[in-house]
Chains A and B, each alone.
Chain A
Amino acid sequence: MLVEAGHFALALALGLSLIQFVVPLWGARSNDPVLMAVAPAAALAVLACLAFAFLALTVAYVTSDFSVINVVENSHSTKPMIYKISGVWGNHEGSMLLWVLILALFGAVVALSRNTVPVKLQANTLAVQGLVTIAFLLFILMTSNPFTRIMPAPSEGQDLNPLLQDPGLAIHPPLLYIGYVGFSISFAFACAALIDGRIDAVWARIVRPWTLGAWVFLTLGIAMGSYWAYYELGWGGWWFWDPVENASLMPWLAGTALLHSTVVMEKRDALKVWTILLAILTFSLSLLGTFLVRSGVLTSVHSFAVDPERGVFILGILIVFIGGSLALFAWRAPMLKQGGLFAPVSREGALVLNNLLLATACATVFVGTLYPLALEVLTGDKISVGAPFFNFTFLPLVIPLLFLVPIGQTLAWKRGNLLGTVQRLYAVFGIALLVTLALVAFRDGGPVAAPLGIGLGAYLVLGALNEIVTRSWSRGTPLATVWRKAAGLPRSTWGTVIAHAGVGVTVIGIAATAWDAEGLGTLKAGDSMSAGPYQARLERVVPRQEANYREDVALMRIFRNGQELGTVETMKRLYVTRGMPTTEAGIMTVGLSQVYVSIGEVHADGTIGMRIYHKPLVLLIWLGAVVMAAGGGLSLTDRRLRIGAPTRARTAPPASAVPAE
């Protein structure tokens, strides 16, 4: 009965979303506050319905109700409880339900922010939000219904894809979805502003926390996914330029650009039209990501079931929303009032350059991801676009961008002084150069990319911290005053500094991968192999039986220059229900570096194939992302109003001052 009530709640949510779409829009057109007041009520009701539906499905999973096909196909009564729960979204249907649930959750938050959002903007935003909900509810009900029943009920389920039986599944999709869906709110606000024909600093102030929040979660979601792939897939890579990864990277790049352009808009009332366009593009890229992952166009662990009908449906949603919003943009954008003026060399100018580079980098990823697909559709040729393409196109765009970060952060609003800024960064340049030279000197030989990259990372970290130093320290000030001043800086400043430092940390981690060492061998018990300064000795191989899988466990003893560090286990598992083998890597963390062993073929004569990797500073890649997200979170807690304080011009403003757009 609960399952059916959940199914019905889903259908009710569809009806309520239709009300949420039509009535507030009408109310806003006719300026009727009563009609507009329906929007928050409907949004909350939609949330209640979807939360109930999700709860019903979760209960079906937890109690292993095998009269629900979705549970049969993705669960098993002997599965550990955590995977029963995370299995709810470890499949196509359930994950789409989570998607709309988060959408409704955010809609409800907008509905509850009564006194900060102008009534009309709120009504229009919730209407757009309602339309998105309608589209995805129809998609779920018609092509991917998680509540379809089966009679007679099988006595046992088919188990969850073993690659997904991991704590990562409990965290990665919700984080990523909060990110994706958070951008839908920015999108809805952008459309609402276009419908109303009004956009200003107030709009930017309302949208910024949403964008920032979405960005924080997307950052964490991507980092989590990357770490998961690193330890689960068993070949030690952390980013594969796989189309599914790119599908999440594109909204992240566009979202990062959006984040920076909303700052300009809030503080300086400039870059309005561009910000709106970015908000639309970011969500469009989120939708595109959903399409690529969910339609079966790409085959990967993410595309749970290949079904052309679903692909066509999502393509339809894609065309309606991207086409519709861009048409709205083309029609309304010329009517928006232009914003403030600024000189090319200024904080705004630097942020425009940041946006240009990010947008171009995003376009590069877009081409690299979609070109092979388009080519295959048109000519049937299969080409593979991998790391070399992105190294040649993406990196040349990103490296100048990274160089720009500390400079842009130091420039003044409205009109800046490039020479003065560079002078303030002398110390930073110097230390970063020293770091690079020291690394080249101490680690003679080895690739030159590592020291250069680490130098760049150090420059980013120091450049970010320099902001705090220059704003609180001057020659002769007592240390206590410096501390007080630094602590008194706005949290958004600290947030920026920490997030930018996080970028530097990630860059250091990535650069250090150039030092990776790898060993490959066929071992029998007692044999050793080595990678870099580490050796691994195979102790023995033992079989083990668990509830829903059995495995061969290889016990490896790890030594560093002859001194024992401990034992790691690497396993080859067979999940019996699906008859699917997986490999579990054994990882030993030494400081920020890791030793990674992964079992290969188990031969008939008792020998086993084994890979070992030494990955120096590899943890910094993900720690950096966590630091970035922490910076974003800190900035999110700063509820101050922001206005860019321009320095008074000593001379008349330069004649080359350009309009914002």
Chain B
Amino acid sequence: MNPLWEALTLQAGYNATLVAVGAALLGIAAGATGSFMVLRKRALVSDAMAHATLPGVGLAFMLMVALGGDGRNLVGLLTGSAVTAGIGLLGVDWLTRRTRLAEDAAIGSILSVFFGLGIVLMTIIQTMSSGRQAGLESFLLGSTAGMLLSDAITIAGGGALALGLVWLLRRPMTMVAFDAGYAQAVGVDVRRTDLAMMALVMGVTVIGLKIVGLILIVALLIIPAVTARFWTDRAEALVWIAGGVGGVAGYAGAAVSASAPDLPTGPIIVLIAAALFLVSLFFAPLRGVVAAVLRHHHFQGRVHRRQGLLSLSRAEPIHDPMTLRVLRRDGLIRADGVATDRGAAEAARAARDERRWTAARDLHQDTALIGRYDGLTAIDAVFTPDQIAAFDRHLGREGMI
């Protein structure tokens, strides 16, 4: 059997299975959390936090070695990374509130400085006790190769925990992300909800360090949310579609990466998410590019057809090539531009529609109804037959028929 299929169907060993499940849980949690964050327009704050984990990993390693421990204990390293990520988040907040720097400058400076500090610590660790520094670089780009069973359990458990918290907090977070003012008015504590959201983002970042790595974890938070945006306009649905995209990317990415050498886990997960994004960008039925182009084309056709029919009814010559094409396609005019029988009938009907609309504007002051006039909507889609009969009587009195 081929190794990719084995990995995808969870037959590539106990560890690989746990990692794939853990990556899927992490992906769902990241997608859902990320969609709240993107709706709050704080997408890149998570990038600063992710880069700020590096000094924490280094410090935790040094501390654990100084205390006589192994130094590679994953729980210890992740705790350390959470501490400095938290400091980084506070730093971004502090710079944005206390100085006149904008948030993007605050994000960029925290990101680069913490990452620089982390690199300095890494070079110190490299010289400390060369045999034991194994594997800290794997936090940069993620790696599941040679992962210990306890690490895999930690990641799967952490992913499940984060997902559970998203489920518990989904209502206040949806409200705040969608309309902070309204949420405040109905008694949601916006500040604490924001704090909880950023804490969740931090949790996802820290859990994702080992699988996706700190440079790319931000992708797992942003890409699913942006992808989901093409499929729905509803906040509730957005969150779970994003979770689905993240879950698929995490699961498939971990499986693909386990199936062959030289396939780093983090980049593979991100590239699968990016592929899902590209497909959505072009082919999503609601907001995708192809759907938008088709809608535009269809609308254009309707406008040209209607205007062409009105010109026919007034026996005006038609010059616009697109109008001619549309009328010919629908069999309303012959090749020489003269109206067919059906074309003449349709033209008369369009002209009558326009006259009835004129009468409707004379008789009705209700803008909700006559405001529906856009030159395309048929009048019987808006008014009842009784009302239309009344318009015809009005037109008869005015001598317009």
Decide whether A and B assemble into one complex: no
- Chain A residues near B (Cβ < 8 Å): none
Mark B residues whose CB is within 8 Å of A: none
